[in-house]
Amino acid sequence: MVAQPGNIEALLWIARVTPDSREAIAAAELALAFDPENEIAKRAVLAVHAKFDAPQEDESPIDIARLTGMTFVQARSVKWPFNGLNRQVGALLDESDTAPDYKSRQLTLRDLAWAFENEKVWGSDIKQAARTLLLSRLLGDKLKEPLPPLKVIVGSAYTAYKERAWLSVNGMLLGLGLGGVITLIIGWLINAYLSLSQPSLNRTLGPFIWLIILVLLVVVYLTGRLSDYAEKMSRQYRAGREGEGKVIDALRASLTQPWTLIHNMEWDDRKWGDVDLILLGSGGVWAFEVKAFTGEYRANGDCWQYKSRWGWRTMRKSPSEQARRNARNVKDYLDLNGMNVKWVQPVVIWACEDKQLTVSVPTTPIWRLSELSDRVEEFWQGRKLSDDQIQQAVAILNEAVEKVKAKSVEQQKKNAKGSHSG
C-alpha cells in the first residue's frame, strides 16, 4: 500500500518541507527505495543530503514523540475536519486500510501529506498529527515500538440481547397482527356471503360475526401499537449499543495501556446492577453511563426531560443519578474485595448529536462524544493509582466478568439440554 504513487509523492513532500534532517533523509530514501528509477526521488536524496550536509541515518530506533512533539496515540485521536468527516484520524485510517480499493478510501497518506504541507490548513494539531502518522506509517520498524492501545474487557452482551429480544417480540406481534387482519377479511366475507345467500341464517349469526370482527379490530389495533413500541425499544437498544461502540473507539484512539476499559460490567447476583463502561488507569477509576437517544432532550441538574408531541416530559430514570449509583457500586464492590479506592468518578456521555441535548447546572459531569478526545487530559487529573493497584482492580472486576460469562454458558447448556430432552 505504501508504494503507491500517491504515497511516494507524500514522502517527497515531507522530504521537501520538513526542517528536521533525519526526517527529510528518511522520507527521501524511502521514496527512492519504493521506486529506484524515480528521477525525482534520486534528486530528492541528493538535495536533502546537500541541504543538511548530514550522513546516512543511524540504525537506532526513532522516538516519534521526540521527533514530532506528539505521540502516535495522540495523533490518532485528532479529528479530521475536512470533507465533512469530522472523525478521529486513526479510525479513518483503519477503515481505509480495509477498503476494497484505493478510490473508496476516505483518508490516505496523500491526504495527510497535503494537510502537513498546505499553509491554509488551520490548527497546529492537524499538521502535527498528520506529520506524526505519516512518519509512523512510512518508517514502520524504524520507530520505537509504541505503547499498545488500552485493553478492552467485554462483559455481558445485555444490550445486544435486549435488542434481539425486542426484535423477536416485534416479529411475533407483526405475525399476530397479520393473522388478525386475515381473520377480519375472512369474517367480513362470511358475513357478506350469508347476507346475500342465507338472510335468515345471517340474522342469527350476524351479531356474533360482527362481535368477533369488532374484537379482532381491537386486537389488531393494540397489536399495532405494541409492535410500534417494540420496534422503538429495539431501535433504542441498538442506538445504545452503537453509542457505546463509538465511545470505545474514541477511548482506544486516545489512551494506551495500562489503561483498561471494561464494557458492559455486570455482577453475578445483579445486586450491583450493570455499568456501561468502567475505565481504570493511573488517573483513577471512572464509571461512564452512555446515552444515545433519538429526539430532543434537556438536563437540568438531576432532572432529564425529553420533548414529546405534548411538550416536555420527565424521564423515569435520570442518567445523572444512574451514573452516580454505578460509581458507588463500583467503589463498594472494589472495597468489598480488598481494593480500597478513594473515589470513582461518575460521568454521563452523550453519544448523539450535540444539538439534541441542552445541559444546565449538571450535578454529574455530562460529556459529549464530540469532545471526548479533548477530555483525555482529565483522566490524569483524578486520584492516582499505582500500576499494582490498577492490576488489582482490573483483576477483581475481570473475575466478576468471568463469573457472569461462566454462569451464562452454564445456563445455555441447561436450556439446550432441556430442549433436547423435551
User: What pLDDT, in 10s, does the model give residues 113-141?
Assistant: 888 777 666 666 788 888 888 877 766 66
Backbone angles phi, psi at 277, to 5 degrees: -140, 135
Name the domain count of the chain.
2
Res 210: pLDDT: 75
Question: Residue 52 above 70 pLDDT?
Answer: yes
Residue 277 CB coordination number (10 Å): 23
**Are residues 255 and 136 both part of a single domain?**
no
Question: Residue 46 above 90 pLDDT?
Answer: no
Question: Which residues, including other chains, have CB under 8 Å from residue 237's CB and lie 6 or more apart?
Answer: 159, 160, 162, 163, 166
Question: For the domain that residue 262 is a member of, what is the CATH number?
Answer: 3.40.1350.10
10 Å CB burial of residue 104 (0-12, 13-18, 19+) is: exposed
In a domain, 17, yes or no: yes
**Are residues 132 and 279 both part of a single domain?**
no
**Are residues 131 and 277 both part of a single domain?**
no
Question: Residue 282 above 50 pLDDT?
Answer: yes
Instruction: List Cα–Cα distances, 402 to 245, 393, 394, 399, 408, in angstroms.
Output: 21, 14, 12, 5, 10
In a domain, 268, yes or no: yes
**Are residues 271 and 406 both part of a single domain?**
yes
Instruction: List Cα–Cα distances, 298 to 196, 318, 360, in angstroms.
Output: 61, 11, 8
Strand-by-strand arrangement of the 260-266 sheet: 151-154, 260-266, 274-281, 284-291, 344-350, 366-368
Amino acid at 26: A
Res 144: pLDDT: 62
Integer Cα distance of 182 and 203 in angstroms: 24
Highest mean pLDDT of the ranges 26-30, 48-52, 345-349, 416-420 = 345-349
Instruction: List Cα–Cα distances, 386 to 254, 280, 285, 328, in angstroms.
Output: 20, 11, 12, 21
Scan for cell 356471503, then name that residue: 193
Higher-confidence residue: 334 or 32?
Answer: 334
**Overall average pLDDT of the 145-172 stretch:** 75
Residue 167 CB coordination number (10 Å): 17
Res 421: pLDDT: 56
**Are residues 249 and 369 both part of a single domain?**
yes
Q: Are 118 and 163 contacting, i.e. CB atoms less than 8 angstroms apart?
A: no
In a domain, 151, yes or no: no
In a domain, 135, yes or no: yes
Q: Are 349 and 289 contacting, i.e. CB atoms less than 8 angstroms apart?
A: yes
**Overall average pLDDT of the 344-357 stretch:** 91
In a domain, 340, yes or no: yes
**Overall average pLDDT of the 386-396 stretch:** 88
When pLDDT is cut at 50, 70 and 90, the band that residue 340 belongs to is confident
Any alpha helices (H) in 119-157, and if so which ranges? 124-139
CA torsion through residues 137, 139, 145, 146, sign:
negative
Largest CA distance in the chain: 113
DSSP assigned state of 70: S
Question: Residue 222 above 50 pLDDT?
Answer: yes
User: What pLDDT, in 10s, does the model give residues 162-221?
Assistant: 767 777 887 887 888 788 778 778 877 777 777 777 777 666 766 777 777 788 788 878
Nearest to 73 by CA among 95, 97, 89: 89
Question: Residue 103 above 50 pLDDT?
Answer: yes
**Are residues 248 and 376 both part of a single domain?**
yes
> 199-254 vs 89-97: helix axis angle to the nearest 10?
110
Range of the domain at 128: 5-142
Question: Residue 237 above 80 pLDDT?
Answer: no
Domain's final residue, options 126, 142, 158: 142
Higher-confidence residue: 169 or 58?
Answer: 169
Integer Cα distance of 139 and 67 in angstroms: 12
User: What pLDDT, in 10s, does the model give residues 245-279?
Assistant: 888 888 877 777 788 999 888 877 666 678 899 99
Res 56: pLDDT: 47
Peptide bond into 81 cis (omega under 30): no
Domain's final residue, options 142, 170, 196: 142
Q: Are 280 and 152 contacting, i.e. CB atoms less than 8 angstroms apart?
A: no
Of 152-156, 260-264, 412-416, least confident by mean pLDDT is: 412-416
In a domain, 193, yes or no: no
Q: Among residues of the chain, what percentage have pLDDT more than 90?
A: 17
Please tell me the chain's helix, strand, coil percentages from 3-state DSSP, rounded to the nearest 5: 60, 15, 25
In a domain, 164, yes or no: no
Spell out the long-range contacts of 187-190 with Cβ–Cβ below 8 A and sequence spacing 24 or more. Answer: 187/212, 187/213, 187/216, 188/213
Question: Residue 327 above 80 pLDDT?
Answer: yes
Backbone angles phi, psi at 309, to 5 degrees: -65, -15
Higher-confidence residue: 61 or 231?
Answer: 231
Integer Cα distance of 160 and 165 in angstroms: 9
The alpha carbon torsion through 176, 178, 184, 190 (nearest 10 deg) reads -110
**Are residues 264 and 134 both part of a single domain?**
no
Res 288: pLDDT: 94
**Are residues 137 and 260 both part of a single domain?**
no
Res 2: pLDDT: 43
Cell of 46: 541528493
In a domain, 174, yes or no: no
Domain's final residue, options 84, 115, 142: 142
**Are residues 250 and 119 both part of a single domain?**
no
What is the overall mean pLDDT for the chain? 79
The helix (run of H) or strand (run of E) holding residue 218 is helix 199-254
**Are residues 130 and 244 both part of a single domain?**
no
Res 234: pLDDT: 79
Question: Which residues, including other chains, have CB under 8 Å from residue 87's CB and lie 6 or more apart?
Answer: 79, 80
